[in-house]
Structure 1
Amino acid sequence: MSDHHIVFIPADPHYLPAEEQVSRAKETLWQWMPEADSLDAAVSEYVQFHDCGSNFEYVRCHLCGQELTLPQWHLLMDQDYDLVRGFGLMPQTLPCCGSVASVNQLDYSFMQGFSRFSLTAINPRTGAVSPQQAELLGQRLGHRLLVIYRHL
Protein backbone atom coordinates (compact mmCIF):
# COMPACT_ATOMS: atom_id res chain seq x y z
CA MET A 1 0.00 0.00 0.00
CA SER A 2 1.35 3.42 -0.89
CA ASP A 3 1.21 6.59 1.16
CA HIS A 4 0.66 10.14 0.04
CA HIS A 5 1.99 13.05 2.04
CA ILE A 6 1.59 16.77 1.61
CA VAL A 7 4.58 18.42 3.25
CA PHE A 8 4.67 22.15 4.01
CA ILE A 9 8.06 23.76 4.62
CA PRO A 10 9.12 27.39 5.00
CA ALA A 11 10.77 28.93 1.93
CA ASP A 12 13.58 30.00 4.29
CA PRO A 13 15.20 26.71 5.37
CA HIS A 14 16.16 28.12 8.78
CA TYR A 15 12.77 29.58 9.72
CA LEU A 16 11.07 28.12 12.80
CA PRO A 17 7.48 29.10 13.66
CA ALA A 18 6.31 29.59 17.23
CA GLU A 19 4.27 26.83 18.91
CA GLU A 20 1.08 28.92 18.73
CA GLN A 21 1.57 29.37 14.98
CA VAL A 22 1.99 25.63 14.52
CA SER A 23 -1.18 24.96 16.53
CA ARG A 24 -3.19 27.40 14.39
CA ALA A 25 -1.79 25.88 11.20
CA LYS A 26 -2.66 22.36 12.32
CA GLU A 27 -6.22 23.44 13.21
CA THR A 28 -6.57 24.90 9.73
CA LEU A 29 -5.24 21.74 8.09
CA TRP A 30 -7.62 19.53 10.08
CA GLN A 31 -10.49 21.63 8.72
CA TRP A 32 -9.24 21.12 5.15
CA MET A 33 -8.19 17.49 5.59
CA PRO A 34 -10.46 15.92 8.23
CA GLU A 35 -9.84 12.39 6.92
CA ALA A 36 -6.03 12.59 7.08
CA ASP A 37 -4.31 9.76 8.94
CA SER A 38 -2.28 12.35 10.87
CA LEU A 39 -0.81 15.84 10.81
CA ASP A 40 2.76 15.86 12.03
CA ALA A 41 4.86 18.94 12.82
CA ALA A 42 8.60 18.35 13.08
CA VAL A 43 11.56 20.53 14.05
CA SER A 44 15.15 19.52 13.46
CA GLU A 45 18.35 20.95 14.91
CA TYR A 46 19.75 21.14 11.40
CA VAL A 47 18.49 21.61 7.86
CA GLN A 48 17.02 18.45 6.33
CA PHE A 49 16.05 17.55 2.78
CA HIS A 50 12.36 16.90 2.12
CA ASP A 51 11.92 14.80 -0.99
CA CYS A 52 8.89 14.03 -3.13
CA GLY A 53 9.42 10.26 -3.12
CA SER A 54 8.44 8.50 -6.32
CA ASN A 55 7.02 11.75 -7.74
CA PHE A 56 10.63 12.74 -8.55
CA GLU A 57 11.13 13.75 -12.19
CA TYR A 58 14.26 15.90 -12.51
CA VAL A 59 16.62 18.51 -11.07
CA ARG A 60 17.59 21.47 -13.26
CA CYS A 61 19.97 24.36 -12.93
CA HIS A 62 17.96 27.43 -12.00
CA LEU A 63 20.22 29.58 -14.18
CA CYS A 64 20.86 27.74 -17.46
CA GLY A 65 17.91 25.30 -17.27
CA GLN A 66 20.03 22.24 -18.02
CA GLU A 67 18.92 19.03 -16.33
CA LEU A 68 21.50 17.56 -13.95
CA THR A 69 22.17 13.85 -14.06
CA LEU A 70 21.40 11.94 -10.87
CA PRO A 71 25.13 11.31 -10.21
CA GLN A 72 25.85 15.05 -10.61
CA TRP A 73 23.04 15.97 -8.23
CA HIS A 74 24.00 13.28 -5.71
CA LEU A 75 27.57 14.58 -5.70
CA LEU A 76 26.35 18.13 -5.00
CA MET A 77 24.11 16.84 -2.21
CA ASP A 78 26.92 14.72 -0.71
CA GLN A 79 29.35 17.64 -0.78
CA ASP A 80 26.85 19.86 1.00
CA TYR A 81 25.84 17.39 3.71
CA ASP A 82 27.58 16.99 7.06
CA LEU A 83 26.66 14.12 9.40
CA VAL A 84 26.69 16.44 12.43
CA ARG A 85 25.27 19.67 10.97
CA GLY A 86 23.01 18.43 8.17
CA PHE A 87 22.83 20.44 4.98
CA GLY A 88 24.88 23.63 4.90
CA LEU A 89 23.30 24.97 1.69
CA MET A 90 26.71 26.31 0.72
CA PRO A 91 27.39 27.70 -2.76
CA GLN A 92 29.02 25.17 -5.09
CA THR A 93 30.14 25.24 -8.70
CA LEU A 94 27.45 23.63 -10.82
CA PRO A 95 28.56 21.06 -13.42
CA CYS A 96 26.29 22.37 -16.17
CA CYS A 97 27.29 26.01 -16.64
CA GLY A 98 29.92 26.65 -13.98
CA SER A 99 27.66 29.02 -12.05
CA VAL A 100 27.79 29.01 -8.28
CA ALA A 101 24.65 28.10 -6.31
CA SER A 102 23.42 25.98 -3.42
CA VAL A 103 21.39 22.79 -3.81
CA ASN A 104 18.47 24.76 -2.37
CA GLN A 105 18.47 27.04 -5.42
CA LEU A 106 18.08 24.26 -7.99
CA ASP A 107 14.75 23.65 -9.73
CA TYR A 108 13.11 20.41 -8.61
CA SER A 109 10.19 18.61 -10.22
CA PHE A 110 8.12 17.67 -8.32
CA MET A 111 8.89 20.27 -5.64
CA GLN A 112 11.47 19.27 -3.04
CA GLY A 113 13.18 21.45 -0.47
CA PHE A 114 15.25 22.03 2.62
CA SER A 115 14.13 23.14 6.07
CA ARG A 116 14.38 22.71 9.81
CA PHE A 117 10.59 22.76 10.18
CA SER A 118 7.96 20.72 8.37
CA LEU A 119 4.25 20.14 8.69
CA THR A 120 3.10 16.92 7.04
CA ALA A 121 -0.40 15.68 6.24
CA ILE A 122 -0.24 11.89 5.90
CA ASN A 123 -2.77 10.39 3.49
CA PRO A 124 -4.90 13.56 3.50
CA ARG A 125 -7.46 12.11 1.07
CA THR A 126 -7.74 15.45 -0.72
CA GLY A 127 -6.47 16.86 -3.96
CA ALA A 128 -3.78 19.47 -4.37
CA VAL A 129 -3.63 22.45 -2.05
CA SER A 130 -4.71 25.66 -3.78
CA PRO A 131 -2.37 28.66 -3.91
CA GLN A 132 -4.83 30.48 -1.65
CA GLN A 133 -4.71 27.68 0.91
CA ALA A 134 -0.90 27.61 0.83
CA GLU A 135 -0.85 31.37 1.32
CA LEU A 136 -3.27 31.21 4.27
CA LEU A 137 -1.30 28.40 5.89
CA GLY A 138 1.87 30.44 5.38
CA GLN A 139 0.22 33.36 7.16
CA ARG A 140 -0.69 31.06 10.05
CA LEU A 141 2.94 29.91 10.28
CA GLY A 142 4.37 33.40 9.71
CA HIS A 143 6.31 32.60 6.54
CA ARG A 144 5.81 31.77 2.84
CA LEU A 145 5.63 28.01 2.32
CA LEU A 146 6.71 25.46 -0.26
CA VAL A 147 4.32 22.55 -0.82
CA ILE A 148 5.80 19.11 -1.48
CA TYR A 149 3.69 16.22 -2.72
CA ARG A 150 5.40 13.02 -1.60
CA HIS A 151 4.37 9.59 -2.84
CA LEU A 152 5.85 6.60 -1.02
Structure 2
Amino acid sequence: MSDDILSVIPTDPRWQPDQAAAERAVAVVEGLVTETLNGIEDDLEVTWHERVAVVDCGQNLERIGCPECGPSLDTEWWRDLVEAHDDGFATLVVDVPCCGAGTSLDALDYDWPCGFARFEIAIWNPGRGRFADEELAALAGALAGALGHPVRQVWAHI
Protein backbone atom coordinates (compact mmCIF):
# COMPACT_ATOMS: atom_id res chain seq x y z
CA MET A 1 0.00 0.00 0.00
CA SER A 2 1.25 3.48 -0.76
CA ASP A 3 0.86 6.68 1.23
CA ASP A 4 0.75 10.39 0.50
CA ILE A 5 2.26 12.84 2.95
CA LEU A 6 1.62 16.57 2.85
CA SER A 7 4.33 18.35 4.85
CA VAL A 8 4.54 22.00 5.83
CA ILE A 9 7.99 23.35 6.65
CA PRO A 10 9.53 26.80 7.23
CA THR A 11 11.29 28.26 4.19
CA ASP A 12 14.38 28.82 6.36
CA PRO A 13 15.78 25.30 6.86
CA ARG A 14 17.28 26.13 10.28
CA TRP A 15 14.30 27.96 11.82
CA GLN A 16 12.12 26.36 14.48
CA PRO A 17 9.04 27.81 16.16
CA ASP A 18 8.50 27.73 19.89
CA GLN A 19 6.03 25.23 21.36
CA ALA A 20 3.12 27.70 21.51
CA ALA A 21 3.55 28.68 17.86
CA ALA A 22 3.75 25.03 16.81
CA GLU A 23 0.52 24.30 18.68
CA ARG A 24 -1.20 27.23 16.92
CA ALA A 25 -0.02 25.92 13.54
CA VAL A 26 -1.24 22.41 14.35
CA ALA A 27 -4.65 23.84 15.25
CA VAL A 28 -4.77 25.57 11.85
CA VAL A 29 -3.82 22.32 10.07
CA GLU A 30 -6.45 20.40 12.02
CA GLY A 31 -9.06 22.94 10.93
CA LEU A 32 -8.01 22.56 7.30
CA VAL A 33 -8.05 18.76 7.17
CA THR A 34 -10.41 17.56 9.92
CA GLU A 35 -13.26 16.95 7.48
CA THR A 36 -11.14 14.61 5.36
CA LEU A 37 -9.48 12.57 8.11
CA ASN A 38 -10.76 10.17 10.75
CA GLY A 39 -8.78 10.47 13.95
CA ILE A 40 -6.36 13.18 12.81
CA GLU A 41 -4.12 12.56 15.80
CA ASP A 42 -3.03 9.31 14.15
CA ASP A 43 -2.36 11.01 10.82
CA LEU A 44 -0.60 14.19 11.93
CA GLU A 45 3.05 14.27 12.99
CA VAL A 46 4.94 17.26 14.35
CA THR A 47 8.71 16.89 14.39
CA TRP A 48 11.52 19.07 15.69
CA HIS A 49 14.71 17.78 14.09
CA GLU A 50 18.01 18.23 15.92
CA ARG A 51 19.80 18.87 12.62
CA VAL A 52 18.48 19.99 9.24
CA ALA A 53 16.58 17.05 7.73
CA VAL A 54 15.53 16.41 4.16
CA VAL A 55 11.79 16.56 3.48
CA ASP A 56 11.56 14.89 0.12
CA CYS A 57 8.72 14.09 -2.23
CA GLY A 58 9.43 10.35 -2.38
CA GLN A 59 8.36 8.71 -5.61
CA ASN A 60 7.10 12.05 -6.93
CA LEU A 61 10.69 13.19 -7.58
CA GLU A 62 11.04 13.46 -11.34
CA ARG A 63 14.05 15.72 -11.78
CA ILE A 64 16.66 17.76 -9.93
CA GLY A 65 18.17 20.66 -11.86
CA CYS A 66 21.39 22.54 -11.25
CA PRO A 67 20.73 26.21 -10.38
CA GLU A 68 24.08 27.19 -11.89
CA CYS A 69 24.23 25.50 -15.29
CA GLY A 70 20.70 24.08 -15.68
CA PRO A 71 20.99 20.38 -16.61
CA SER A 72 19.42 17.56 -14.65
CA LEU A 73 21.49 16.07 -11.88
CA ASP A 74 21.73 12.34 -11.38
CA THR A 75 19.07 11.51 -8.80
CA GLU A 76 21.26 8.65 -7.56
CA TRP A 77 23.93 11.24 -6.61
CA TRP A 78 21.28 13.09 -4.59
CA ARG A 79 19.87 9.92 -2.98
CA ASP A 80 23.38 8.78 -1.99
CA LEU A 81 24.02 12.20 -0.44
CA VAL A 82 20.75 12.07 1.52
CA GLU A 83 21.44 8.51 2.72
CA ALA A 84 24.92 9.53 3.86
CA HIS A 85 23.28 12.21 6.04
CA ASP A 86 20.42 10.18 7.49
CA ASP A 87 21.07 11.86 10.86
CA GLY A 88 20.64 15.30 9.29
CA PHE A 89 22.81 17.97 7.71
CA ALA A 90 25.21 20.31 9.50
CA THR A 91 25.43 22.33 6.29
CA LEU A 92 23.52 22.35 3.02
CA VAL A 93 26.54 23.55 1.02
CA VAL A 94 27.42 21.18 -1.81
CA ASP A 95 29.43 21.11 -5.03
CA VAL A 96 27.19 19.86 -7.84
CA PRO A 97 28.67 17.11 -10.02
CA CYS A 98 27.61 18.63 -13.37
CA CYS A 99 29.68 21.84 -13.27
CA GLY A 100 31.41 21.69 -9.89
CA ALA A 101 29.72 24.90 -8.72
CA GLY A 102 29.17 25.44 -5.03
CA THR A 103 25.52 25.85 -4.10
CA SER A 104 23.05 24.89 -1.41
CA LEU A 105 20.93 21.74 -1.45
CA ASP A 106 17.84 23.86 -0.85
CA ALA A 107 18.67 25.93 -3.95
CA LEU A 108 18.53 22.95 -6.32
CA ASP A 109 15.60 22.92 -8.75
CA TYR A 110 13.39 20.04 -7.55
CA ASP A 111 10.53 18.74 -9.68
CA TRP A 112 8.37 17.97 -7.45
CA PRO A 113 9.29 20.28 -4.58
CA CYS A 114 11.54 19.00 -1.82
CA GLY A 115 12.83 20.89 1.18
CA PHE A 116 15.05 20.91 4.22
CA ALA A 117 13.91 21.74 7.73
CA ARG A 118 14.38 21.45 11.46
CA PHE A 119 10.61 21.66 11.97
CA GLU A 120 7.90 19.78 10.10
CA ILE A 121 4.16 19.23 10.28
CA ALA A 122 3.29 16.11 8.26
CA ILE A 123 -0.23 14.97 7.40
CA TRP A 124 -0.43 11.36 6.26
CA ASN A 125 -3.00 10.64 3.54
CA PRO A 126 -4.64 14.05 3.93
CA GLY A 127 -7.64 13.29 1.71
CA ARG A 128 -7.27 16.64 -0.01
CA GLY A 129 -4.93 18.45 -2.36
CA ARG A 130 -2.17 20.91 -1.58
CA PHE A 131 -2.79 23.89 0.63
CA ALA A 132 -3.86 27.06 -1.17
CA ASP A 133 -1.82 30.26 -0.79
CA GLU A 134 -4.23 31.71 1.76
CA GLU A 135 -4.05 28.50 3.82
CA LEU A 136 -0.24 28.64 3.77
CA ALA A 137 -0.44 32.29 4.85
CA ALA A 138 -2.63 31.28 7.81
CA LEU A 139 -0.07 28.63 8.78
CA ALA A 140 2.76 31.14 8.46
CA GLY A 141 0.91 33.56 10.71
CA ALA A 142 0.24 30.86 13.29
CA LEU A 143 3.93 29.96 13.43
CA ALA A 144 5.25 33.43 14.14
CA GLY A 145 2.45 35.82 15.02
CA ALA A 146 1.56 38.93 13.05
CA LEU A 147 4.76 38.95 10.99
CA GLY A 148 4.42 35.27 10.17
CA HIS A 149 7.20 32.98 9.10
CA PRO A 150 7.05 31.86 5.46
CA VAL A 151 6.28 28.20 4.91
CA ARG A 152 6.29 25.84 1.97
CA GLN A 153 4.72 22.49 1.34
CA VAL A 154 6.10 19.20 0.10
CA TRP A 155 3.85 16.46 -1.29
CA ALA A 156 5.40 13.03 -0.94
CA HIS A 157 4.24 9.73 -2.34
CA ILE A 158 5.81 6.67 -0.75
What TM-score, normalized to structure 1? Answer: 0.87
Query: For 1:33, what is the secondary structure of its paired residue?
Result: helix
Q: CA deviation at 1:76?
A: 4.7
Question: How many Å separate the matches in 2 of 1:52 and 1:74?
Answer: 12
Question: How many Å separate the matches in 1 of 2:91 and 2:133?
Answer: 27
Decide which structure has greater helix share: 2
Q: CA deviation at 1:63?
A: 2.4
Gaps of 5+ in 2: none
Change in 2 beyond 3 A, CA 1:126/1:75: closer
Question: How many Å separate the matches in 1 of 2:25 and 2:86?
Answer: 31
What TM-score, normalized to structure 2? Answer: 0.84
Instruction: Give matches, 1:57-76, under 5 Å.
Output: 57-74=62-79, 76=81
Instruction: Give matches, 1:1-152, under 5 Å.
Output: 1-34=1-34, 35-36=36-37, 37=40, 38-74=43-79, 76-77=81-82, 81=85, 83=87, 86-142=88-144, 143-152=149-158
Measured on the aligned residues, the alpha-carbon RMSD in Å equals 1.9
Q: CA deviation at 1:96?
A: 1.9
Question: How many Å separate the matches in 2 of 1:43 and 1:69?
Answer: 30
Residue type matched to 1:146 in 2? R
Question: How many Å separate the matches in 1 of 2:73 and 2:137?
Answer: 30
* Count of equivalent residues: 149
Question: How many Å separate the matches in 1 of 2:76 and 2:3?
Answer: 27
Question: How many Å separate the matches in 1 of 2:27 and 2:93?
Answer: 37
Question: How many Å separate the matches in 1 of 2:83 and 2:30?
Answer: 37
